[in-house]
Homo-oligomer: A and B are copies of this chain.
Amino acid sequence: MVYDEENILLMTPGPVPFHPRVYQAMSRVVFHHRTPEYRKTFGECVSMMKEVMQTKNDVFIFTGSGTAAMDAAIANCISPGDKVLNLIDGKFSERWAEITETFGAKPIRLDVEWGKAVKPEMVSDALEKEPDIKFVTMCHNETSTAVLNPVQEIAEITSEQGKILLVDGITSVGGDYVYPDKWGIDILVAGSQKCLGCPPGLGMIMVGPRAWDVINKREKIPSYYVNLPAYKKSFEKSSEPPYTSAISLIYGLHEALTMILEEGYENRVRRHRLMAEAVRRGMEALGLQLLAEKGCESNTITALKYPEGIDDGAFRKGMQKHGTLVAGGQAHLRGKIFRVAHMNIIAEREILLVLALTGLVLRELGFECESEAGVSAAQEVFLKNLK
């Protein structure tokens, strides 16, 4: 079989395709983590990560998934009984609420229909109703619905009112604009295997000064492994994490971050935004509808509603047969949408092919469409915008 599990294009929201340079870096012989050589590598990862996160705040990198980073963020910041406003418009923003509950705090859910974004005025209203809310959680780029939430506007409100804002940036950091310092994000979480372009296994947490104020006042933090004050102390002493890190993944991250900075922050975000534009225009030209409401579309992933009569399993198996993996819907959106991620090194070539394949597979399944129209619409976008 030409298209097996290793020769498959991952247009899924993590893992994504990784550059050969990153694989090469990861295959480096593991050297000891308590050496000047390793400290240099790790320290450079943290510095580059700050640059990619556009922040001067502390950034910690540790072994674990993005969920581990979210878990650690709540464990470090939020005390039992604290009131937390959880802005929920999909599966990943809902995870914040589940973690809030895990640690005995009081989640106050603000639920928005999946596919729509949270509106800043909803946040103002909720905070007015419950003035003793201390924390607000949200997902920047809600991967389950392909919706981009207005973090900047919401951060303005939370900053003004002295609330601590925790943002899941797992599928935005490295692919779209995120300015934690300028906007006023207090905790920003990321993961290695999305727009950062390094295989899974590393989580990142940015901690701003207002979050530190809260953390430093706590008597006890219910996590030994990711105790942020212990990480800070260890890093300030010797540029290293307190426990053995996933050394091979750190080599990979070092290379991936180097490549991001070689491309340049602006160039990289603009490229992701252009790819997103091309996918949207192309899919619409094929006759498909976006799940995300107008004006709030994600720039790193696109969710499409299935036309009447197209079966989720058959469609995705069809795509896979032709060498490309796209994601289905989650929770109540299962079977109703498919999602195409365009992160990291996904660019024109992949965008054109996924549109061509989508046209082909829809036709194979009996959907009547101009199956080349997707490619044509994306070509127009590229002709206008690429030099």
Contacts and interface: CB of A to CB of B under 8 A. Distances in A.
Interface of A: 5-8, 10, 12, 14-15, 18, 23-24, 26-33, 35, 37-38, 63-68, 70-72, 74-75, 95, 98-99, 102-104, 191, 193, 199-201, 220-225, 227, 243-249, 252, 325
B66 A63 contact: no
Contact of A224 (B32, B67, B201, B225): B67
A45 to B, nearest CB: 15
Chain B CB within 10 Å, residue with most, of A26, A74, A220: A26
A102 B248 contact: no
B201 A201 contact: yes
A68 B35 CA distance: 22
18 contacts: A5-B31, A5-B37, A5-B38, A6-B29, A15-B244, A30-B199, A30-B200, A33-B200, A35-B325, A63-B201, A65-B246, A67-B225, A98-B224, A102-B222, A102-B224, A199-B248, A200-B246, A201-B248
Chain B CB within 10 Å, residue with most, of A24, A66, A68: A68
Nearest to A249: B201
Nearest to A102: B224
Contacts of A72: 225
A65 B222 contact: no
Contacts of A248: 26, 199-201, 248-249, 252
A75 to B, nearest CB: 8
A27 B27 contact: yes
Nearest to A101: B220
Contacts of A247: 15, 199-201
Interface SS majority for chain A: loop
A99 B224 CA distance: 6
Contacts of A35: 5, 325
A54 to B, nearest CB: 25
Nearest to A245: B200
A191 B63 CA distance: 13
**Top-3 shortest CB links A-B:** A201-B246, A71-B225, A5-B37
A245 B65 contact: yes
A218 to B, nearest CB: 12
Given A200-B246, A246-B200, A225 B68 contact: yes
A64 B29 contact: no
Given A26-B26, A32-B325, A201-B248, 11 more contacts: A6-B28, A10-B30, A24-B27, A26-B27, A30-B193, A64-B64, A68-B243, A200-B248, A201-B245, A223-B223, A248-B252
B225 A222 contact: no
A168 to B, nearest CB: 13
